Amino acid sequence: MNTLLAVDAEGVSKSFGHVRAVVDVSLQVAPGEVYGVLGPNGAGKTTLLRMLFGLIRPDAGTMRIFGRTWGEAGVHTLDGVAGFIESPRFYPYLTGRQNLRGLAALDGGDSADRIEEVLDVVDMTARADRKVGGYSYGMRQRLGVAASLLRQPELLVLDEPANGLDPAGIRDMRALVRRLAGSGLTVLLSSHHMDEVEEICDNVTIMSRGNVSFHGSIADLRAMAPEPGHVLHTSADTDAVAIARQHPGVDVTPDSDGRLRVVGQERLVSAYVAAVVKAGIDLRTFAATETPLEALFFMLTDDEDAVEGPRTTREEAAVR
């Protein structure tokens, strides 16, 4: 197994005119891990991956892939690397299998022997002989992963692989990434869904406006997460707020929608709700808002002050 870092980005920056798309980003991806780059649209995730693939050049900093840089190794920088940026593209008038045959031929032909194997890995064997023009978006994403696997990569790079998929497609794509990671493949993926990163990644970099807001493990991130939040609407909200004063550790405040926002540890919130019901107040709505990690994600990406995680290296976290 390769002992070099799969990805070693140091102080990478990129601007387009007056727009600072990526600002002094450093991250390290170890062989065999699943690493997530998380952030809302426009955070700089895709620009970072474009620099990784050599599609654009950074204005500053160094991007190494298994120890190689574009300046030193040229196109060989991508030896052992596969994946796609944004959405994979195929000839719509050809079948999935025919598209893979064409890509294998362009890659030297040796990978043609793996077509049936990769179709099976992404669960596309039964649909491989349909024309791609009739594929759903999720099927095209799966075919993109199959095309990437033809090269037997050591590093698989996926740019928001579940973006645009329906719930079933999201579930299947996450299961596929978990299977690939379980085989020992290094995976670097971008996403704007916290639950996706939490479910399948070992470590994560959160970006906002081109800057790094957090570096660290999922465990580190969970330790920083706030208490879970709920929305509550009752037959007597004023009385429900008054009852909350008798329950330390539970914060209940009216929100702009005319409901109550309840924040606190789960056991304390449960005791508070039980007290509301015992007081003869009807519950009309009681539901979770975002998960604690989703709440933290919004804090990290919406606030003007970025937060440093336990593994932060040299990067500045100031948001433009």
Q: What is the pLDDT of residues 103-135, one digit of tens each?
A: 999 887 778 889 999 999 999 999 999 999 999
29: left (phi over 0), alpha (psi -120 to 50) or beta: beta
Q: What is the pLDDT of residue 224?
A: 77
In 3D space, the residue among 143, 148, 194, 147 whose CA is nearest the CA of residue 173 turns out to be 143
Task: Report the alpha-carbon distance of residue 193 to residue 257 in Å, rounded.
Answer: 25
| 258 and 187 co-located in one domain | no
Residue 24 lies in a domain: yes
Residue 203 belongs to what domain range?
Answer: 7-223+296-302
pLDDT in tens, 35-93: 999 988 889 999 999 999 999 999 999 999 999 999 999 999 999 999 999 889 999 99
Residue 214 lies in a domain: yes
pLDDT in tens, 130-188: 999 999 988 999 999 999 999 899 999 999 888 777 888 888 888 888 888 888 899 99
| 64 and 152 co-located in one domain | yes
Tokens 């009681």: give the residue.
286
| 277 and 163 co-located in one domain | no
CB atoms within 10 A of CB 57: 11
Residue 309 lies in a domain: no
Predicted confidence band at 316 (pLDDT cuts at 50, 70, 90)?
very low
Residue 308 lies in a domain: no
Residue 62 lies in a domain: yes
272 token code pair: 């508070």
Residue 64 lies in a domain: yes
Residue 166 lies in a domain: yes
| 200 and 171 co-located in one domain | yes
Return mean pLDDT, the chain. 86
- Would the pTM count as exceeding 0.85? no
CB atoms within 10 A of CB 315: 22
| 173 and 253 co-located in one domain | no
Predicted confidence band at 98 (pLDDT cuts at 50, 70, 90)?
very high
| 115 and 240 co-located in one domain | no
In this structure, what CATH number is given to the domain that contains residue 281?
3.30.70
102 token code pair: 């064409």
Start-to-end CA distance of the chain, whole Å, equals: 40
| 190 and 274 co-located in one domain | no
| 165 and 268 co-located in one domain | no
Task: Report the alpha-carbon distance of residue 302 to residue 126 in Å, rounded.
Answer: 44
32: left (phi over 0), alpha (psi -120 to 50) or beta: left
Q: What is the pLDDT of residue 238?
A: 92
Cβ burial of 67 (10 Å; 0-12, 13-18, 19+) is middle
Q: What is the pLDDT of residue 178?
A: 86
| 212 and 268 co-located in one domain | no
Task: Report the alpha-carbon distance of residue 283 to residue 70 in Å, rounded.
Answer: 61
30 token code pair: 């170890």
Q: Give phi and psi for 60, each to the nearest 5.
A: -155, 160
| 260 and 197 co-located in one domain | no
Q: What is the pLDDT of residue 166?
A: 80
Task: Report the alpha-carbon distance of residue 142 to residue 42 in Å, rounded.
Answer: 25
Q: What is the pLDDT of residue 319?
A: 29
Task: Report the alpha-carbon distance of residue 300 to residue 87 in Å, rounded.
Answer: 27
Q: What is the count of structural domains for the chain?
A: 2
| 149 and 258 co-located in one domain | no
In this structure, what CATH number is given to the domain that contains residue 93?
3.40.50.300
In 3-state terms, what secondary structure has residue 142? helix
pLDDT in tens, 204-258: 999 999 999 888 888 888 777 766 778 899 999 999 999 999 999 898 988 877 8
Residue 317 lies in a domain: no
Q: What is the pLDDT of residue 318?
A: 28
| 115 and 49 co-located in one domain | yes
pLDDT in tens, 263-310: 888 889 899 999 999 999 999 988 877 666 666 777 777 744 433 333
CB atoms within 10 A of CB 304: 9
